[in-house]
Chains A and B, each alone.
Chain A
């Protein structure tokens, strides 16, 4: 029967084309950052890029794979530690910073065999225990000297301007790559699998979705991503004190950003990172009342605005900026 299809599956529309184009343009503009941004702004933006990575990774885990991890600081710390070790072994410092997350990602592969068998709260705390264990084991390394810590000496050898610019570019590049990976993932069959798993894991399995493999992919990606954030943070701080890098506070930041921005959406974590960055800039990022505020906000959002700012906007007005979903368009002029 030759009959024109009444329904067309559409992935792009005007809004999403505009959004993606502007995003690419923004990246290009940012790439030239160090030339027109002052030193202070360059540093601040580097930090923002790190936050975006953290938020995007935690969102991938919790929002797409449904895995709430209270232990991602494990990979954050291990990323920085791996960079220290690689640099100490003689590797070029920036190569070490990029290689470290790859190593950590690879190491998370066997870990996933055990970790992914846990569900819900068990997974959450299980990862926290892993973070504690990683912290303790790293402390045992003579190079690190327990809580005294050490530093990425090779970086101090560089001139501040050069170092600042390189940190910026590496952070920008890694952010673009990681966020880009999430985008690509969502657009492929894996993306549909992810959304299916998030909505109903058993139903997804029953239609042939490879649940474990998909979750593992996200788990490893999130591990590598958080490790990248850790090594990037090391590049900005230069010093490595295990207590700072393995602190559960990083998870608190990640949860705040994703909850406020919008769990389970693509744009949400980016928005959340920007908001968190703004709050930190204004309120100084230190002091207990700042943390109380973060915790209280996360608590209130989880109870009253669980979809976050972007998620609520999307639900209410049906806007989707990035083309990660599917739209059904009815040719005969039916409902869009």
Chain B
């Protein structure tokens, strides 16, 4: 039992990693990027190609991919998202969905249906683990993922709280019109937020490739897990996403003990249960909670 919990927590940290980019964009731009998962898978493929072709460690490859993703995020915002936002509330959903389909199928055309993994590229790290008392096994890679997730979340939180750009992002998220009136260029802010989100997606995609297998159509599953983590954890700061991710991971792991299908089913059921509880008990919408995401006061 203790081991299942531990595995669930570690898995949950990965979910928080992939979720933080999505919640960041949702909190700042008020849109859910339906291409989020697909972009993570795209990043995974790019890192994989670089690692394989130049025979370097995936972490090094990731380092090369980060600036590319930053630029891609900026480009995405200025071309697709900015136009979409102006057209109304529905359009970003439709355009990002179209984008997801394009990305998924382009990946399929280039790489085929084979599942891939980058586990072979990191040697022992993929399966080395520590055995703790109580039958708990902690995988080294899983722990690394968790550490990266927590560090990233903490870093983002600090960035939002302490830096001028972070403040500008929070102000624009709260009231874009007034933000313009105090001298903030909301377009630049949105582009920066998207770029930051893309960097976290690149990191998440890399860890996805390291810890599991991926294929061109893996994006939708990642998007769903990320979204579930955000909704379950919802309240307070970005740390809520961490809690949500962990709750999801634990629920899934416990569910898999009942039935092999139980892994996914339990996760979805917990998601709906939390959603229902939120509305019928607390009466708050996920969106108001995600807005609270960017508050730094405790």
Of B30, B90, B227, B265, the residue contacting A125 (CB under 8 A) is B227
Contact B109 A126, beta carbon cutoff 8 Å: no
Contact A119 B34, beta carbon cutoff 8 Å: no
Contact B98 A120, beta carbon cutoff 8 Å: no
Bound CA span A228–B41, Å? 34
Bound CA span A296–B34, Å? 14
Given A68-B93, A303-B87, 6 other A-B contacts at CB below 8 A?
Answer: A114-B275, A133-B265, A298-B97, A299-B99, A302-B87, A306-B87
Of A114, A119, A122, A133, the residue contacting B231 (CB under 8 A) is A122
Whether A255 contacts B109 in the complex (CB less than 8 A), given A120-B287, A129-B227, A140-B261, comes out as: no
Residue numbers in A under 8 Å from B87 (CB-CB): 302-303, 306
Q: Does B2 contact A (CB under 8 A)?
A: no
Bound CA span A254–B287, Å? 26
Residue numbers in A under 8 Å from B105 (CB-CB): 288-289, 291-292, 295
Bound CA span A128–B102, Å? 18
Contact B269 A133, beta carbon cutoff 8 Å: yes
Bound CA span A300–B26, Å? 22
Residue numbers in B under 8 Å from A289 (CB-CB): 105, 109
Q: Does B74 contact A (CB under 8 A)?
A: no
Whether A122 contacts B286 in the complex (CB less than 8 A), given A128-B224, A255-B97, A292-B106, comes out as: yes
Bound CA span A113–B94, Å? 24
Contact A129 B31, beta carbon cutoff 8 Å: no
Bound CA span A251–B98, Å? 11
Q: Does B268 contact A (CB under 8 A)?
A: yes
Q: Does A179 contact B (CB under 8 A)?
A: no
Q: Does A259 contact B (CB under 8 A)?
A: yes
Residue numbers in A under 8 Å from B264 (CB-CB): 132, 136
Q: Chain B residue with minimal CB distance to A248?
A: B220
Q: Could you tell me which residues of chain B, from 107 to 138, have a CB within 8 Å of some CB in chain A?
A: 108-109
Q: Does B77 contact A (CB under 8 A)?
A: no
Range, interface on chain B: 35 or more
Q: Could you tell me which residues of chain A, from 38 to 73, have a CB within 8 Å of some CB in chain B?
A: 62, 66, 68, 70
Q: Does A192 contact B (CB under 8 A)?
A: no
Q: Does B57 contact A (CB under 8 A)?
A: no
Residue numbers in B under 8 Å from A130 (CB-CB): 272
Residue numbers in B under 8 Å from A128 (CB-CB): 220, 224
Contact A302 B279, beta carbon cutoff 8 Å: no
Bound CA span A62–B88, Å? 12
Contact A129 B228, beta carbon cutoff 8 Å: yes
Contact A292 B109, beta carbon cutoff 8 Å: yes
Contact B101 A292, beta carbon cutoff 8 Å: yes
Q: Does B271 contact A (CB under 8 A)?
A: yes
Bound CA span A176–B95, Å? 31
Bound CA span A115–B16, Å? 24
Give chain B nearest CB distance to A241 CB in angstroms.
16
Q: Could you tell me which residues of chain B, from 60 to 113, have a CB within 8 Å of some CB in chain A?
A: 80, 83-84, 87-95, 97-102, 104-106, 108-109
Residue numbers in A under 8 Å from B84 (CB-CB): 302-303
Residue numbers in A under 8 Å from B100 (CB-CB): 295
Bound CA span A297–B30, Å? 24
Q: List 14 A-B contacts (CB under 8 A).
A: A66-B90, A70-B34, A125-B224, A129-B228, A130-B272, A132-B264, A136-B264, A255-B94, A288-B105, A292-B105, A294-B101, A302-B87, A302-B91, A303-B95
Contact B101 A291, beta carbon cutoff 8 Å: yes
Q: Does B223 contact A (CB under 8 A)?
A: yes
Bound CA span A68–B92, Å? 11
Bound CA span A122–B285, Å? 9
Of A117, A252, A291, A300, the residue contacting B285 (CB under 8 A) is A117
Q: Chain A residue with minimal CB distance to B224?
A: A129
Whether A299 contacts B98 in the complex (CB less than 8 A), given A62-B90, A133-B265, comes out as: yes
Contact B93 A299, beta carbon cutoff 8 Å: no
Q: Could you tell me which residues of chain A, from 285 to 335, have a CB within 8 Å of some CB in chain B?
A: 288-289, 291-292, 294-300, 302-303, 306
